[in-house]
Amino acid sequence: MPELNSSLANAVVEGDIDVAKKLINQALAEGATAQGIIDKGLTPGMDCVGQRFKEGEMFIPEVLLSARTMQAGMEILRPLLTEKQATAAGTVVIGTVEGDIHTIGKDLVSIMMEGAGFKVIDLGIDVKPQRFVEAVREHKPDIVAMSAMLTTTMPKFAETVNALKEAGIRDRVKIMAGGAPVSRDFVAKVGADGYGSNATAAVDSAKSLMGR
């Protein structure tokens, strides 16, 4: 099984969806658990991708292909996870803020969060502050993650934080923010708790906020 796990991790790094699916089904047939496949195959693969991206050895198109491979694997395994396993690391509500329709960065963070063991509720793009409030009330997440790729939509971070405060639920969640024009200082000024300069950093920040 160690060799199969290594091959699966490599398939994720290479972005080979067909091979990854084949290996996952083989592992399941041989008695591996869904959580074991995630922990020993998919997650190590995405960890490697994240490290290579951080070091400039992989670029966004390659990372997206790896992320889609991870997602394809999760589609097979997700129904086999218990609720406890599916929320082992915590629950994240994520969305691109109102007025912004960029999705790639958010999607990448979502997939990598899920690979790290988080349950992810993706609200999509152009998400109004009130929609974030509704999602917190409905899903009771540990973290709210917001993305903005335009300087013109960055003020929506503060509006969302204020909307959560006005609803009396700000203290129930940790808030993360990120995106190409966003800085750590800006995130701190709007009252958020965490910042991710890229998808890998966002996952690290989420783990830190959860005390991991």
Lowest mean pLDDT of 27-41, 73-87, 105-119, name the range: 73-87
- Distance CA(19)–CA(11), nearest Å, equals 6
CA 175 to chain centre: 14
Lowest mean pLDDT of 9-18, 23-32, 81-90, 133-142, name the range: 81-90
**Same topology between domain 2-81 and domain 87-209:** no
142-170 per-position pLDDT tens digit: 999 999 999 999 999 999 999 999 999 99
Confidence of residue 108 (pLDDT cuts 50, 70, 90): confident
28-79 per-position pLDDT tens digit: 999 999 889 988 999 899 889 888 987 899 988 898 899 889 989 989 998 8
- Distance CA(58)–CA(103), nearest Å, equals 20
**Looking at the domain 87-209, which fold is it?**
Rossmann fold (3.40.50)
Residue showing tokens 């800006």:
186
Task: Indicate the burial class of 134 (C-beta count within 10 angstroms; 0-12, 13-18, 19 or more).
Answer: middle
**Looking at the domain 2-81, which fold is it?**
1.10.1240
How confident is the model at residue 198, as a pLDDT? Answer: 85
172-192: average pLDDT: 95
Closest CA to 160 of 140, 179, 185, 177: 177
CA 112 to chain centre: 4
Task: Indicate the burial class of 92 (C-beta count within 10 angstroms; 0-12, 13-18, 19 or more).
Answer: buried
Instruction: Parse the chain into domains and list their residue ranges.
Output: 2-81, 87-209
